[in-house]
Structure 1
Amino acid sequence: MILITGATGHLGTAVLQTLLQKTSASQLAALVRDEHKAADLQAQGVSLRLGSYNDLASLDRAMQGINKVLLISGGGEDDALQQHYNVVDAAKRAGVQCLAYTSRALKDPSALANQLMVRHFQTEDYIQASGLAYIFFRNILYLDTLPLFTGPNVLETGIRLPAGQGKVAYALRSEMGEAMANVLLQADCVNRTYHFTGSEAYSFDDVAAALTSLTGKEVRYTAAEPAAFAANMQQRGVPAVAIERTIGFMTDISHGQEAEVSSDLATALGRQPVSLAEGIKTVYKL
């Protein structure tokens, strides 16, 4: 039986959609905080396990009868790392046979500007130290996040970000979820790390060119200076923590942290991931 944590989130939903197509719902469980948000899963026969990463007793209950767990990483909360540790500990106590974790595909974890990403590799280390058999899904930056970075009025304003000429091997979150499900359905758990990226890395100039081609409106990318970009965000009332994280993401992109390309996603999907243009049509609803 496979337990998916964060089951009502975007990635958890994508994983479960594929699992439900390829295996019996009786073999699936979902850790959720609100059963009402998971009513559709329950209606399809998925076993709901109520709880949260902070509730140790609920995690112990959720792990009962489970063979594999997909731990979908938590958000930006200060205690997110401890939350991950709580899930790992509960899986170990329950004798889970395989623990999968959604990590990040970054070139050099020891040289990250975005310190929020460090907890992914701390979680990997903790899982390895636990002695549990594991699968690490190191995921590239979701193509789905592009509108968040470019802003809602990109066709009028263009793209202005402090990312230099850095590139990202974007992939759609839905395709990553599909690929994870395919891997989870395999019988073995062989302490393997998958690097889920697109088949090519793209700069923001490439993003601008794709938007121009798809819409007929000229979109340009301007490489902003980090300090000026941060000051502009501050003037617009953006919270300091959001400014820090955005600058961190862009700095890592400019340093090539997100540019590594792997064939793992294509192999797990059984096809090539969508191209930049196809993905942009989807996420910008063009």
Structure 2
Amino acid sequence: MANKETIVVTGASGQLGRLVLKELVARAPQARIVGVLRNPAKAQDLAALGVELRAGDYEDPASLSAAFAGADKVLLISSNELGKRTPQHLNVIAAAKAAGVKLLAYTSVLHADDSALNLAGEHRETEAALRASGLPFVLLRNGWYTENYTAGAKAAVDHGAVLGSAGQGKIASAARADYAAAAAAVLTSTEDQAGKVYELAGDTAYTLADYAAELARQSGRPVVYKDLPETDYRGILESVGLPAGLAALLAESDVKASKGALFGDGATLHRLIGRPTTPLAASVAAALA
């Protein structure tokens, strides 16, 4: 890789963005690593690592044009603003094309082309826009993050129950750090990545009953899985403070998980990062620490 190559990561202050940037700094010390976020003052920890911070907003095309100046590669981390993702992503794609970017990587969703998940729709629209753009691009179709469940690990132990609507559906999740390592591997690869599609999932799948059993094993306290109708689960998520849209999405995703929507083959992610994906037990241990 050329010493002067510039790699830009959007969503730099987000949980995934921060991890990708740290991986890039470690993997490509001679490259110019740029993080784009709305408020660079919120990521001075990244600046201390040598990441160049630039202001950029998915809804402000002019800011994106300035943020992508000189970029060789751009990682578009999908927006977290459900319902607004497609137009925001179109702004990024247009700015990247105008900047002459040689490769745009996009964090899509596992099996986006035929996924039953409601959230897959905006990913399909973004993928279609990338194909129509003429830009060289690579798709990182990320599966479920284990943290989507372990974020509530302590509460589940306290209440003695994991709640959900996933039935006996198998979930092939991986830790956020695993997906970050994969993105960094693709962005720093010496192989031509244009046109590649990576279906990324964890090595080992589990049910939410398995997850509850792991919580019980590590905490030494009884924890069971309680399967609920979608409307009941959505209502509980709203009652603990989740926005209605996010609660609906999580509940719907659980129901689709019961039908296999969150299951995938971990071989591709494992190969990209050069190690096994983070086991469920390790993610649970970190969440309970």
TM over 0.5: yes
* 3-state SS, counterpart of residue 138 of structure 2: strand
Task: Please list every run of at least 4 consecutive aligned residues from structure 1 whose deviation after the TM superposition is greater than 4 angstroms.
Answer: 108-111, 148-151, 231-239
* 3-state SS, counterpart of residue 167 of structure 2: coil
Q: 2:128 & 2:105 partners in 1: Cα distance?
A: 13
Corresponding residue of 2:72: 67
Mark the runs of 5 or more structure 2 residues left unpaired by the alignment.
1-5
Which of 224, 227, 249 is the matching residue for 2:228?
A: 224
Paired residue type of 1:21: A
Which of 266, 269, 273 is the matching residue for 1:265?
A: 269
Which of 239, 246, 254 is the matching residue for 1:242?
A: 246
The answer to which of 144-153 and 120-129 deviates more is 144-153
Whether 1:186 aligns to 2:194 is: no
Shift of 1:79: 2.0
* 3-state SS, counterpart of residue 288 of structure 2: coil
Contact 2:150/2:284 (8 A) holds in 1: no
* 3-state SS, counterpart of residue 11 of structure 1: helix
Paired residue type of 1:130: S
Shift of 1:172: 0.4
Shift of 1:154: 3.3
Shift of 1:152: 1.8
- Percent identity (aligned): 34
Shift of 1:30: 1.2
CA spacing shift, 1:206–1:131, aligned 2, 3 Å: same
Corresponding residue of 2:10: 5
* 3-state SS, counterpart of residue 30 of structure 1: strand
Q: 1:234 & 1:172 partners in 2: Cα distance?
A: 25
Paired residue type of 1:43: A
Paired residue type of 1:129: A
Shift of 1:51: 1.5
Which of 174, 178, 185 is the matching residue for 1:175?
A: 178
Shift of 1:254: 1.0
CA spacing shift, 1:33–1:238, aligned 2, 3 Å: closer
Corresponding residue of 2:94: 89
The answer to which of 172-181 and 230-239 deviates more is 230-239
CA spacing shift, 1:273–1:111, aligned 2, 3 Å: closer
CA spacing shift, 1:235–1:141, aligned 2, 3 Å: closer
CA spacing shift, 1:255–1:66, aligned 2, 3 Å: same
Mark the runs of 5 or more structure 1 residues left unpaired by the alignment.
none
* 3-state SS, counterpart of residue 132 of structure 1: coil
Contact 1:162/1:225 (8 A) holds in 2: yes
Which of 18, 26, 30 is the matching residue for 1:21?
A: 26
* 3-state SS, counterpart of residue 199 of structure 2: strand
TM-score (norm 2): 0.90
Offset from partner CA, 1:179-226 (integer Å, 9 cap, x none): 211111013223111122111111011101111211221211122122
Shift of 1:36: 0.9
Q: What's the Cα RMSD here?
A: 2.1
CA spacing shift, 1:124–1:217, aligned 2, 3 Å: same
TM-score (norm 1): 0.91
* 3-state SS, counterpart of residue 53 of structure 1: coil
Shift of 1:33: 1.1
Q: 2:216 & 2:20 partners in 1: Cα distance?
A: 32
Corresponding residue of 2:50: 45
Whether 1:141 aligns to 2:165 is: no
CA spacing shift, 1:151–1:228, aligned 2, 3 Å: farther
Contact 1:25/1:45 (8 A) holds in 2: no
Corresponding residue of 2:104: 99
Corresponding residue of 1:128: 131
Contact 2:182/2:272 (8 A) holds in 1: yes
CA spacing shift, 1:211–1:3, aligned 2, 3 Å: same
CA spacing shift, 1:207–1:127, aligned 2, 3 Å: same
CA spacing shift, 1:167–1:60, aligned 2, 3 Å: same
Total equivalences in the alignment: 283
Contact 1:150/1:160 (8 A) holds in 2: no
Whether 1:204 aligns to 2:202 is: no
